[in-house]
A = this chain, B = another copy of it.
């Protein structure tokens, strides 16, 4: 694993370039970026550390500079539910902040990470001054809405195997890294996580993955999953007729 610049020194080195990678700020003027930068700060998140906690007042916007963060909700019945995983350049916690509501979930670093944090009122001010940003925000949120809706529709699908396959496909798309054998999910993920993403049980996920591994569809070990034949997974996810490989 290559260490990102400025990681070890314990010294946050805020880079405008990092901000530029955030979709929301694309095409923003230098001084506007400076404004954000000046108001916010870079923070280190050790693996397992929380960026924010479910129920806490949301007064900050977060953006991940490096690493991976899990957004997970504790339901009243005690069950956990994994909403999504955040990768580099993505923002999180912003919806709650914009809405003036408490964070709806915990944000936990699954690997050592670096986040950039700034107060919500800066974002508000920016939006007032630069309508582009607000418009870009609607686009971002629109994308979220669409993704959530498609995920909703998926949940309707009864077969658990399908749901797990789709969850895995999504992870591959978002966090896949090519290796010799296939595509690996580039951060540690437990079967429990996968279960909590798809609404299945830990047990069923374990069994299912084991079956797929026996079929040579995937490789897996503790917290690691590598997809050897992505297409085969898609066939299951989309319930295509094909019983053959590619």
Contacts and interface: CB of A to CB of B under 8 A. Distances in A.
A220 interface: no
Interface in A148-171: 148-153, 155-158
Contacts of A144: 141, 145
B152 A151 contact: yes
A199 B98 contact: no
A134 B145 contact: no
A156 B81 CA distance: 8
A96 B142 CA distance: 8
A137 interface: yes
A32 interface: no
Contact of A149 (B83, B124, B129, B238): B83
Interface stretch (A43-51, A71-79, A108-116): A71-79
Contacts of A149: 73, 83, 104, 148
B146 A73 contact: no
Interface centre among A95, A137, A158 (most CB of B within 10 A): A95
A101 interface: yes
Contacts of A150: 104
A138 interface: yes
Contacts of A131: 127-131, 134
Contacts of A152: 81, 83, 148, 151-152, 155
22 contacts: A77-B239, A83-B153, A95-B146, A96-B146, A99-B139, A99-B142, A99-B146, A104-B149, A104-B150, A127-B135, A127-B138, A129-B131, A130-B131, A138-B138, A141-B142, A145-B145, A145-B148, A148-B148, A148-B152, A152-B152, A152-B155, A158-B199
Interface of A: 73, 75-77, 79, 81, 83, 95-96, 98-99, 101, 104, 124, 127-131, 134-135, 137-139, 141-146, 148-153, 155-158, 196, 199, 238-239
